[in-house]
Amino acid sequence: MPSTPTPTPTPTPTPGTTTDTDELLGRVQKQLGRVPNLYAALASGPAALEGYLAMREQLTRGVLRPRLREQLALLIAQENECTYCVSAHSLRGGLMGLTEDELRHTREARDADPHTAAVLILAREIVRTRGRVSEAGRAAARAAGVTDAETAEVVAHIALNTLSNYYNHVARPELDFPEVQA
């Protein structure tokens, strides 16, 4: 039986590749203080990175607070089995004050705050059902105070994070965060 070749990671552009790439990676550097390998890899398609950054930036202006946005990113990465993003968002979540237990609970769609837990449970159901949330799931979210605006942003965060999760699966950038297995 022939052996399966080991997949090779997608080469990542570096500053100086193109003007578009330089500008985009400069924005990433300014926002994050560094250019993670995911962003460098995604810059091979400047329109894809531009779209990702634009959506990410717009969602920072929404109703979901930063901690919950980070928890959503971690949960979605876990659901999509993306070790790169689970690793990145575990580190970022820790820097935002989430404890190891809170990070683990987030990956299981649990939280001590009932509203946050409801948002995470809703997000997990949206991911698992590809948006076909049950009436019971919708009712539970509403009963916990999840608003229509929050629901819309949860779906947007799922789209944003699924883009990065799937691109990581395809491009296989080198992990540049402490590894946390999905």
Residues contacting residue 91 through CB under 8 Å, at least 6 positions apart: 177, 178
Q: Are residues 83 and 48 in the same domain?
A: no
pLDDT at 19: 56
Do 89 and 51 fall within a single domain? Answer: no
Which domain range does residue 88 map to? 66-171
pLDDT tens-place string over residues 66-121: 999 999 999 999 999 999 999 999 999 999 999 999 999 999 999 999 999 999 99
Q: Are residues 114 and 154 in the same domain?
A: yes
Q: Which of the four pLDDT bands, split at 50, 70 and 90, describes residue 33?
A: confident
Q: What total number of domains does the chain contain?
A: 2
Residue 180 or residue 19, greater confidence: 180
119-152 residue pLDDT tens: 999 999 999 999 999 999 999 999 999 999 999 9
